Structure formats: C-alpha cells, structure tokens
Structure 1
C-alpha cells in the first residue's frame, strides 16, 4: 500500500491486519485487493483523498470482504469504518454483539495482558490462530480453553463476572502501558496464575481446559523491549488533503509508529483512522494536515522525603 494508484475512484485503505504472524497493510478498489507487509524501516507516504467511505462487510461464509453496495460515506474522524447497513450484516460485529448463538466452529478462550491492571478475557475462532491477539496489541497472552461457541461464550462471561479479567478495555488506554511493559517473567507468572484461577472457575463447564498451552509474549515483536518512544505525537484525526508519512517502526497491534525524517518526534497512527480514505502515493513528502496530540512518558515521582 502506498505504491499503487488506480484511476476511477482510487485505492481505499482497509487498514492493517495480521496474517501468519505478519502485519499486512491493505487497500481495495472494488473487489481488487492490494496488500503490503508493514516491514520496519520502510518509508511510507499517503496523500488522503475524500470523502471517507465504508469498506464493506465480511458476510457469513465469505472468504473475502464484500464491498459496500451503497459506496456510502462515513464520518471523517469517527471510529466506525462501516456504514450502518454494512454493520448490520457483518459477521464479526454480529459475533461481538452476541447475535450469533452458534456457528458450528471451534473457539478458543484467551487471557490477554495489556499492562498491569489490564487483563482481558475473550474468544477467537480457532481457525484464526493468533491473529486476533496480534491485532488487539496484546503484550502477552495464553489460551485457557476451547470448545463450541455457546460453551466458550459462557466461560468468558463466567470469568468476566468473577472480576478476574474484563471483556473490554478502551483502546486509547493501551499505549499508556507501552512505556514500561515490565519483564517477561512478570507477564508469564501473572498469566499462568490467572489461567489457573480461570480453570477453577470453569470446573464443570462444557469446555476443554488448556492447562499446558504456552504463554506468548509480543513485547519484542512490537518493538517495545525498551518501551515506547519517550515522546511522540498521536494522530487524533485525518482530513482530505492530509499526508501521513514517515519510516515504519514495528507495528503494535493495528498501530503504526512513524519516525520523521527531520528527527522530530515519531507519529502514532491507529490504522482504523486510515480505513476508508482514498490513498495516493506520497513517499518523500512531509507529514501535514494532521491533528496531533503530544504524548510523553510520565515522570517517575520522587518519593524520597528527606536525606536524613
């Protein structure tokens, strides 16, 4: 993405997904798809054209995205990347809203750690592997159980009701924990203890408990072994004519960190904000037209009250 232009409407960004452990940027032109692995060190540049449009829906049984039949416009700075009509038929949204009671597939229950005090419980279709955990930006996680959708969903609700883990977190709070993710041993111990507690809660549930599943750690994969940059600018909104540009650092979930050529602070982009914009190649141009909020690592408080 960023290397192709197409006449008659252009390539529309569909954001970033993880496939087979790799972050892939994608764009569509009708039913044509253009994909590019987001390799660290790659310079990128995109000129945004509007209006921002719905990217369609994943329908039940489909192996690819179905384009929006209405070519509908969506809010330029909103979080939704689909129009109401596509939202109403999207399989993933229906699953998240408990509108699908059973679909015959096997699901896995996971526990995911996003930072101290942020332990999440969730489920993912077994056929998706680890993509959902990578796309969420989980710093560490483990599978806890597997089974049919109704049983795994009941297990998820049981754990959430206990207070052991939560079903949802505000995505905007996740970066607050990137500066100091701690050490791998701490994350592993916390998740193993949480899984043991979850298994006690799930005694008698109609799921297969996964007592020996490994703990996965994504901190190094996301380039956070030494924490996030001490200061960066978080892109808050985009507009027609804006240029998103820089050199890629390792993606973190669906976020891109872009180093700036002038040595300025990196920019952080949630690629869901990019989704729906028509993109034209703009490599070599400086970033411009962006609404950016400065972010900085909090100072460690001095707790020493006196020398003697």
Structure 2
C-alpha cells in the first residue's frame, strides 16, 4: 500500500499527517519521525477531487498543485473573495505570530479555532461575528486602518517561535490591537462585537523551550530522508531535533504529493536544508 501524503491537518486541535484516501496519522510530541520520499512529486488535486493527470509538480512549491487544480482550489476559497452567498456566520479574528507580527482575518464560525491553528497563530482574540460579506468588509477596513498586512510570511513566523516573549506580553499586544480595532468606526453596525479574550496556543504547539532554529527543509527529493524527534508543530510546520543535534523545520506543505515510506534506523537526514536568515523585528507601518 502506497502512503501518498497530503500534508498536515489539525483535526480536534491535534496535528496529524493526512494521506490520500482520508487516512490521518496523529502526531505526538517527542515521537521519532523517519521517512523517505519516493518517486516523483505529483499534484494531489483540489477540493477533494484527484488531479486527473496526476501532474508532476516542483519540489519547492509550497502550493504543491498543478496550475489547473490550483485554479480550482482558489475559485472556491473564501480567502479569494469569490464566495458571496455563504449563509453561515463568520468571525473576524486578530492573530499574533510574534513581536510586531499581527494580522486581521476571518473564518467560518463553525470551524472554531481551526483556522488559527492552521496558520500557526501563537495568540489571538475574536473581534466580531456576523454575515460573510460584513466580516469581509470589516477585515479590509481594519487592515487599512490598523496598518496590518493580510498575511505574515511563514519564514518570519517559524523563526519567531524560537524566542517568544512571556504569555502576558503576547496577550498585551493582542489586547492593544483589539483596542485599536474597536476604536475604528462603522464596522459594529454590521457585525456583533465580541469581548476581548486572549487565547494562547503555545501549549498546543509545544513551543516552550524550543532550541534555536538552525535551518528549514528546502524540498523533498526522491530517496531523500527526513529523520528527527518531533519537538513542536505550528501551522504546517514540524520542528524537529535531527540526529546531529540541529533543530530543523519542515513545512509539511512540501510533503503534499509525495509517496512516503519508513526510513531505516541507520539512515541520516539527507534532504536539502536552507540556513535561517536572521529576523529583523520592526513595527508594521503599512499593508506591505
């Protein structure tokens, strides 16, 4: 039986590797991971539909889909602003990923905190709830008014996790953003404001005490081995302690489309690794 990976999922607040056919392998902190990529990386399809061509895709592409499947996935995405008639309630959130790294976003209320876990938000607070288009308008108004971006680069997110400030400092920064958002006029006429309540994911992600990040996996290659003890997981990233003592991050979006098989006991870490660039902390001054 071939184990064709589809990346990581956060079902029930627990990380797990997803496989074609709907299987999920739950991940436990401290466990040993050891697998080898086999063959050619192929497009896994989109929206539950397999790629009709099983097209080959580049190893370094985090999207991991062929152009046609990528278009199909984007066409049905709330993030792409292509859905206007979804009747379910949505929530606006304020997410914090590290000092000076915040964003405003929306998610379907029924999904709970899943979207925040998928993005690797270290801390967050709900801001308001209501219809999709009202939530979308509020998201855009607040981005402009607060000077926060619509996304934070994964490279910055993962590097910041290794030197986090105390819990109270994280909550304070989210609360300050919440206070500024409530002071922006107009949006409370279409959305129900929600009281501030800081929520923290450091325990869920197991980020306390992470050693310095030494590098990130650049891509998987045929025959390449990933091996290490799982220290933490946040968003799509697995933080691993490699056999040689390095702390390395694997963005599991790079695993989607690969067939993975168990690696042997004597094998070493043999996929390309990119050194981590230093993070320059600065206040956000605009949308980009």
Instruction: Check whether TM > 0.5.
Output: yes
**1:194 aligns to 2:177 (yes or no):** yes
- Provide the aligned length of Structure 1 versus Structure 2: 278
92, 98, 102: which one aligns with 1:119? 102
The secondary structure found in structure 2 opposite 1:193 is helix
257, 272, 275: which one aligns with 1:294? 275
Query: Is the Cα contact below 8 Å between 2:5 and 2:260 reproduced in 1?
Result: yes
Q: Go from structure 1 to structure 2 and tell me whether the alpha carbon gap of 1:153 and 1:202 turns closer, same or farther (over 3 Å shift).
A: farther
1:305 equivalent in structure 2: none
1:128 equivalent in structure 2: 111
What's the offset of the Cα at 1:150? 0.4
Deviations 1:55-90 (A, max 9, x none): 1112xxxxxx22222212211221222222222222
175, 178, 193: which one aligns with 1:209? 193
Query: Is the Cα contact below 8 Å between 2:146 and 2:181 reproduced in 1?
Result: no
What's the offset of the Cα at 1:266? 2.5
197, 222, 227: which one aligns with 1:240? 222
The secondary structure found in structure 2 opposite 1:90 is helix
Where in structure 2 are the equivalents of 1:105-116 lying within 5 Å? 105-116=88-99
Of 86-95 and 268-277, more deviation after overlay is shown by 86-95
Q: Please, what TM-score do these two structures have when normalized by structure 2?
A: 0.89
Structure 1 runs of 4+ aligned residues shifted over 4 Å read none
What's the offset of the Cα at 1:256? 0.8
Deviations 1:193-221 (A, max 9, x none): 21122122153430111024x21111233
Query: Is the Cα contact below 8 Å between 1:136 and 1:254 reproduced in 2?
Result: yes
The structure that is helix-richer by fraction is 2
The secondary structure found in structure 2 opposite 1:141 is strand
Mark the runs of 5 or more structure 2 residues left unpaired by the alignment.
Answer: 280-288
56, 78, 81: which one aligns with 1:95? 78
Where in structure 2 are the equivalents of 1:66-77 lying within 5 Å? 66-77=49-60
What's the offset of the Cα at 1:146? 0.8
The secondary structure found in structure 2 opposite 1:251 is strand
Mark the runs of 5 or more structure 1 residues left unpaired by the alignment.
Answer: 1-5, 59-64, 299-308
For 2:115 and 2:63, how far apart are their aligned partners in 1? 18
Q: Go from structure 1 to structure 2 and tell me whether the alpha carbon gap of 1:285 and 1:126 turns closer, same or farther (over 3 Å shift).
A: farther
What's the offset of the Cα at 1:27? 1.1
Deviations 1:10-43 (A, max 9, x none): 2211111111111111111xxx222111101211
**1:24 aligns to 2:7 (yes or no):** no
What's the offset of the Cα at 1:122? 0.5
2:44 equivalent in structure 1: 55
Where in structure 2 are the equivalents of 1:226-237 lying within 5 Å? 226=209, 228-237=210-219
Q: Please, what TM-score do these two structures have when normalized by structure 1?
A: 0.84
Where in structure 2 are the equivalents of 1:146-295 lying within 5 Å? 146-203=129-186, 204-212=188-196, 214-226=197-209, 228-261=210-243, 263-295=244-276
1:302 equivalent in structure 2: none
Q: Go from structure 1 to structure 2 and tell me whether the alpha carbon gap of 1:54 and 1:296 turns closer, same or farther (over 3 Å shift).
A: closer
Q: Go from structure 1 to structure 2 and tell me whether the alpha carbon gap of 1:179 and 1:289 turns closer, same or farther (over 3 Å shift).
A: closer
